[in-house]
């Protein structure tokens, strides 16, 4: 069955937009980060602190593979780093997988993340000044992987509804 995958940097709106798509399409939405938290009974922050990032990345790949193999159609919101590790981007090339990169500028991401760092272990310890430069470099490094998505939707300056409709247009 079909899998609709949303990917992109932290704060680009994967969870928010996937929830809206789910309501419109009646397809269930599965958030990869949430699935990992449910499976481990730990928050993403706790996993990073107690088990380390490598453990998290292994689990992330395992859960992604399981979700892609699920018998039902799903909307899957990836973690911000998911396509950028362990050749996970290659898993997204399968048949019946439609992948969408929610592309946001550094300024948009900074605005959204600056007030909301604490739940995101990769940026939690950065000062506001460090954060903007970090996002710029990190986004540049990750862009190669994000750009492997089948479709790209630019989200800057768009409302949640507009972004959702842009993706609905790709599904028909």
Ligand X SMILES: Nc1ncnc2c1ncn2[C@@H]1O[C@H](COP(=O)(O)OP(=O)(O)OP(=O)(O)O)[C@@H](O)[C@H]1O
Ligand Y SMILES: O=C(O)C1=C[C@@H](O)[C@@H](O)[C@H](O)C1
Residue 80, marked binder? yes
Q: What angle do CA 63, 81, 68 make, to 5 degrees?
A: 30
For ligand X, the closer of residues 76 and 95 by Cβ is 76
Q: What is each CA distance from 91 to 62, 88, 96, in whole angstroms?
A: 11, 5, 12
Residue 95 CB, nearest distance to Mg ion (Å)? 26
The mark string for 21-50 relative to ligand X (x by CB under 6 A, - otherwise) is: ------------x-----------------
Q: Are 47 and 40 spatial neighbours (Cβ–Cβ below 8 Å)?
A: yes
**Side-chain half-sphere exposure of 22, counting CA atoms within 13 A:** 16
- Taking the complex as a whole, how short is the minimal distance between the CB of residue 169 and ligand Y, in angstroms? 26
Interface residue with ligand X, options 57, 126, 142, 158 (CB under 6 A): 158
CB of 33 to Mg ion, least distance (A): 6
Inter-residue contact 74 to 28 (CB < 8 Å) = yes
33 is in an annotated binding site: yes
Determine the Cα–Cα distance for residues 4 and 97; give it in Å rounded to an integer. 6
80 binds ligand Y, rule: CB under 6 A: yes
Contact between 113 and 133 under an 8 Å Cβ cutoff? The reply is: no
Work out whether 121 is an interface residue with ligand Y (CB under 6 A). Answer: yes
User: Residue 121: which of ligand Y, ligand X, Mg ion, none does it interact with, CB under 5 to 8 A by kind?
Assistant: ligand Y
Q: Is 100 helix (H, G, I), strand (E, B) or coil?
A: strand
Within 10 Å of residue 21's Cβ, how many Cβ atoms? 22
x/- map, 14-43, Mg ion, by CB under 5 A? xx----------------------------
10, 123, 139, 153: which one binds ligand X (CB under 6 A): 10
Q: Binding residues for ligand Y, per CB under 6 A?
A: 10, 33, 44, 79-81, 120-122
């Amino acid at each position: 069955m079909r899998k609709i995958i949303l990917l992109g940097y932290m704060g680009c709106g994967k969870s928010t937009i996937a929830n809206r798509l789910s309501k419109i399409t009646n397809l269930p939405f599965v958030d990869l980060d949430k699935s990992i938290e449910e499976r481990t009974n730990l928050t993403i922050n706790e996993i990073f602190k107690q088990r380390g990032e490598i453990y998290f990345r292994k689990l992330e790949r395992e859960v992604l593979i399981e979700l892609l193999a699920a018998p039902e159609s799903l909307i899957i919101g990836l973690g911000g780093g998911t396509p950028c590790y362990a050749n996970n981007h290659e898993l997204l090339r399968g048949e019946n997988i439609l992948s969408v990169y929610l592309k946001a500028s550094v300024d948009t991401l900074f605005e959204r993340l600056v007030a909301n760092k604490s739940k995101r272990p990769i940026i939690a310890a950065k000062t506001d000044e460090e954060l903007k430069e970090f996002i710029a470099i990190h986004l540049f490094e990750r862009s190669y992987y994000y750009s492997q998505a089948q479709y790209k939707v630019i989200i800057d300056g768009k409302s949640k509804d507009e972004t959702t409709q842009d993706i609905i247009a790709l599904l028909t």
